[in-house]
Structure 1
Amino acid sequence: MSGTVWEGTALLIAFSLGLGIPFVLVAAGATELTTRLRWLRRHETAVALASGGLLIVTGFLMITGVFTTLAGLSPTFL
């Protein structure tokens, strides 16, 4: 298969746009996201303690085998 220079240029532009657009969108939304996540910064300690507690409980349930039993009770969607 041989392509022309214009086909190669079109593919390069499409690739560059596909790679660059997500970064531009993330950069554009970063300021909005920062203001929306202000609540998390104010409650950082409580969020860290709660998530750590959930990890400990989940680990305990996995060690005791209860997690597998609970997972078996959940409905399967696939």
Structure 2
Amino acid sequence: MQALAFSEASAGRGAVLTVAYCAGLGLPFLAAGLAFRKTLGVFSWVKAHYQWVMRIGGGMMIATGLLMVTGVWSSLISQMQSWSAGFTVGI
């Protein structure tokens, strides 16, 4: 996103893209901070089910590794890139 902002024709458009990038990056953290009490419930659930969270995460890592080794991962990424080939920035 930053490369797109730096390469745009005008400084104003690049600035707008940079602000959008920063907002998209920071807003989830602000929302988590504002809803801290409610998120404690989620964090306590994760803590209570730590073994399952770790097993599922490890399984996902192994599955991704196998997809990468077999070359299927590259095919999936290429397919997803073709879906967004005609995308243009609206700003």
Q: TM-score, normalised to structure 1's length? A: 0.53
**Runs ≥4 residues deviating over 6 A:** none
Find the aligned partners of 2:66 and 2:53 in 1 and give their Cα distance.
20
Quick one: higher RCO (CA 8 Å, sep 6+), 1 or 2?
2
Aligned to 2:75: 69
- Aligned counterpart in structure 2 of residue 54 of structure 1, from 53, 57, 60: 60
Give the count of matched residue pairs: 55
- Aligned counterpart in structure 2 of residue 36 of structure 1, from 5, 18, 42: 42
Query: Counterpart of 1:66 in structure 2: which amino acid?
Result: V
| Distance 1:38-1:59 versus aligned 2 partners, 3 A rule | same
CA deviation profile, 1:6-36 (whole Å, cap 9, x unmatched): xxxxxxxxxxxxxxxx87x82x532221123
1:76 is displaced (CA, Å) by 1.6
Q: TM-score, normalised to structure 2's length? A: 0.47
Query: Counterpart of 1:39 in structure 2: which amino acid?
Result: W
1:40 is displaced (CA, Å) by 1.2
Measured on the aligned residues, the alpha-carbon RMSD in Å equals 2.5
Gapped regions of structure 1 (runs ≥ 5): 1-21
Query: Counterpart of 2:42 in structure 1: which amino acid?
Result: R
Task: Give the share of equivalent positions with the same residue, in percent.
Answer: 25
